[in-house]
Amino acid sequence: MPQMSYEEANDCIKNLIIKENFAEALLVVQQLISQLPKDANFRMLEAKALLALGRYRDAADSLFLAVELDPNNTEYRCMLSIAHLRIGDIQLGFTIITEAMAKYITDLRVGVYYMYILGCHDNILLECIWSKHETQRLVEFMIETHINNPLNYELFASISAILTKIGRFDRAERFFAYCLKDINLETSAATASSISLEYSHSAIFYDNNLLHLISLQEFIAVVRPHLEGRSGLVIVDAVCGTGAAGPYLRPHASSLIGVDISNAMLDIARGKGLYDRLIVDDMIGSMADLSDVDLIICHGATYYLNDLTDFFAATSRSLQSGGQLIFNDFPAPPGSGTMITKGGNQRFCRSEDMIRRLAAEVGLREISSVTISTYKLPCRCWVFQRD
């Protein structure tokens, strides 16, 4: 390895990790550790590479040394808790982050990791821990401390996810509101080409993504009662992706049409042999040539749109009288119109009154709305019918 300054070596390792060259990063950092065995920063970088390579126990060992060498570094403590979570020892991970929380109670990073690992417990234990008086006092303190912090998205998203997981949807939506900000003139929706590119890279892994599958099952649980006892329907799976909803829809359809903007996703859907027709287009443009549809479903996609006016108009035109539209959309506080997440994945979120108004303007009558878990966050699932 060529001679480098400490800063150059540090940047080199970080760049290798950013480029996902984890094995090379590990080799470089271990050579440096052989020269500087008591350098906590290099131990931490070693752990990052080891975590990425799935060597969780080795990562935990490196982080334990990093914490011993620099006990006041909260990043090292947070990473150590995550390493034990990855090993499968959630209790040890939670103990480590709880101890860090007691010592660094005002540290936003520690608060985020505490809430994240708390949310990884099973529902029964999570409910038990969440209901404790000391947990509630801790949450109240974190809210007061970080309510005005512009970087508080992950903290409030984690709290909202916990409340969603244990079925306290009203409170989950209230905390999710802290994750949102107003739209300004510089806010723009993702382009069709950027969305297509994003999913072209992830298509082959999509059906193995547990979070996506669980979210779909939550959505299908709302759809299923509207399909029971019915067959011979014309069904449009708008933004069908890899066709994961196909097995639930096929038994009820005489014609099952899938729409998606990503060719790569549709190639996988096509291989399942469940759809009569697959259209490469966005969820609005694809509706132009569709008519007399009995059911349109749209799961996990409207949040890409900064305005649902055209979405409602297009779906209403395609539905026959009595046809239904079922979709989910992330909520914004009452009267706020459209807002956007201020961290994480960009999501446009809408208030109930806006959704109802836009639907009514194109002749869609509300049948029901219920909050479900979508990608761990509270999400409103709507059912409308064209009269």
Q: What residue ranges do the domains of the chain occupy?
A: 6-118, 192-386
C-beta of residue 226 within 8 angstroms of C-beta of residue 383: yes
Q: Is the pLDDT of residue 370 over 90?
A: yes
Q: Does domain 192-386 have CATH number 3.40.50.150?
A: yes
| pLDDT the model gives residue 3 | 76
Share in percent of the chain as helix, strand, coil (round to 5): 55, 15, 25
Question: Does residue 185 carry a pLDDT above 70?
Answer: no
pLDDT of 192 over the 80 cut: no
Residue 199: the pLDDT is 80
Q: Does residue 224 carry a pLDDT above 80?
A: yes
Q: Any idea which residue has 């947070």 for tokens?
A: 78
pLDDT of residue 302: 97
What pTM was computed for the model? 0.90
Q: pLDDT of 44-86, one tens digit each?
A: 999 999 999 999 999 999 999 999 999 999 999 999 999 999 9
C-alpha separations of 90 from 76, 83, 93, 188, 372 in Å = 17, 10, 5, 40, 26
Matching fold, domains 6-118 and 192-386:
no
Whether residue 233 is predicted with pLDDT greater than 70 in this model: the reply is yes
**Does the domain made of 6-118 have the CATH classification 3.40.50.300?**
no
Q: Which residue has the tokens 């480029």?
A: 19
pLDDT tens track for 13-49: 999 999 999 999 999 999 999 999 999 999 999 999 9
Mean pLDDT, range 246-274, rounded to an integer: 96
